[in-house]
Amino acid sequence: MRVRCFIAVDVEGGELISRIVRLQQDLTETGARLKLIEPENLHVTLAFIGEVPLPLVERAKAAISKVTFPRFTVSFAGVGAFPDPRRPRVIWIGVREGREELTELARLVRARLREENIPFDKKEFVPHLTVARVKGGGGALAGALRKLQAFSAGNMTVTTVRLKKSTLTPRGPIYETLYERELE
């Protein structure tokens, strides 16, 4: 059996999530066809592992158990898009405060995965929170993204790193926490 998984920091906090959901609603009013990330699925991916056999999932748990890092605050602010705002495929909120800490946490998590010989996506870590995927018709979207560069969603304290299972369904992914490591 194979499991599709990744390591992430979940977005937590009612007020923070409410502001993100309001932003998502504003984005849909541009007329673009968007696949919004469900509030319960909002997260910052530290390392995407992909589909791996069960024994590697157990080794990933072991890798995360060795991560020691202090708790820290992140603030989510500024809206952008990959590959760029004129041709958006993914819409994200940036990380302002806590950017260096998040980057260091991702570096540490990836180092522990390497120690356990667990393959993961080697793309450079860019701290961001995906809020929507663009499916088409992004006419007014580029202008809206420009106006949202000053958007601030708020902040949260990062207390936990989680190994998440991702089950793909026609209605979107279903995430399940397989293991979590509390930060100090």
Under 8 Å between Cβ of 31 and 134: no
Residues 104-116 have pLDDT tens digits of 999 999 999 999 9
**Annotation says 43 is catalytic:** yes
**Sequence spans of domains, the chain:** 2-182
Measured in whole angstroms, how far is the alpha carbon of residue 105 from the centre of its chain? 13
Which CATH fold would you assign to the domain 2-182? Cyclic Phosphodiesterase; Chain: A, (3.90.1140)
Residues 127-149 have pLDDT tens digits of 999 999 999 876 789 899 989 98
Of 110, 112, 128, 162, the active-site residue reads: 128
Q: pTM of the entire structure?
A: 0.95
Residues 56-98 have pLDDT tens digits of 999 999 999 999 999 999 999 999 999 988 889 999 999 999 9
What is the mean predicted confidence (pLDDT) over 38-63? 97
**Annotation says 128 is catalytic:** yes
Residue 4 has pLDDT above 90, yes or no: yes
Of 32, 43, 113, 158, the active-site residue reads: 43
Query: What CA–CA distance (Å, rounded) separates 34 from 99?
Result: 27
